[in-house]
Amino acid sequence: MRKSLVTGLVLCVVMVGAAAYFLLAGGQPQNPQITEMTHSWGRVTIQSTEILTKATAHNPNNFPIYFTKVEYTIYMNDILMGQGSSEEDVIIRANSDKTIDLTTVIDNTKLAEWWVSHIKNGEKTTFKLDGYIHFDLKLTTFKYHFEVTQEFETDILGA
């Protein structure tokens, strides 16, 4: 009984402290933004191609953001092309930028299927990145879902 009362009091203090911190830190937290991305080739085999990405994330908040992992899946015209993840825990300090290293493995056997779909769609492709950011909140873990969709078009056959 005494142990559960102490645990309850500690939890209340933590929640009140967190609420006060967010209010003093500028109110509602804002999502971090990706401000820059660069890509390079990694390991290439007959089955797969590795793409190494450096993504610069900006934290607009007055408090740091901590997360343990980013993992995602890439689709092109609804065809599963590959998966990727971050390699280390990330801390983005308050009002600052942080470069995050991501590794994506593309399934080369899907390239022909995607290319056919691209041509059938009039040389248009819908690119979708679907994933999760994993947070370690010490008392529990939390996964934040994100999805990014972009369309691109080529005119290779027109040339």
Residue 89 predicted with pLDDT over 50: yes
The domain locations on the chain are 1-29, 31-153
Q: How far from chain centre, in Å, is Cα 123? A: 27
Q: What is the pTM of this model?
A: 0.70
Q: How far from chain centre, in Å, is Cα 116? A: 28
- Distance in angstroms (rounded) separating the CA atoms of residues 134 and 132: 6
Q: What is the mean pLDDT of residues 36-57?
A: 90
* CB atoms inside a 10 Å sphere around CB 45: 9
Residue 95 carries which DSSP code?
T
Q: Which H or E run contains 117? A: helix 111-120
Q: Is 104 exposed, middle or buried (0-12, 13-18, 19+ CB in 10 A)?
A: buried
- Looking at every residue in the chain, the average pLDDT score rounds to 83
Grade residue 76 by pLDDT with cuts at 50, 70 and 90: very high
Greater pLDDT, 29 or 112? 112
What pLDDT, on the 0 to 100 scale, is given for residue 12?
Answer: 47
Residue 58 carries which DSSP code?
E
* Structural class in CATH, domain 31-153: mainly beta
Q: Both tokens of residue 125?
A: 């492709």
Longest Cα–Cα distance in the chain: 78
- Distance in angstroms (rounded) separating the CA atoms of residues 69 and 143: 9
Q: Both tokens of residue 94?
A: 């308050």
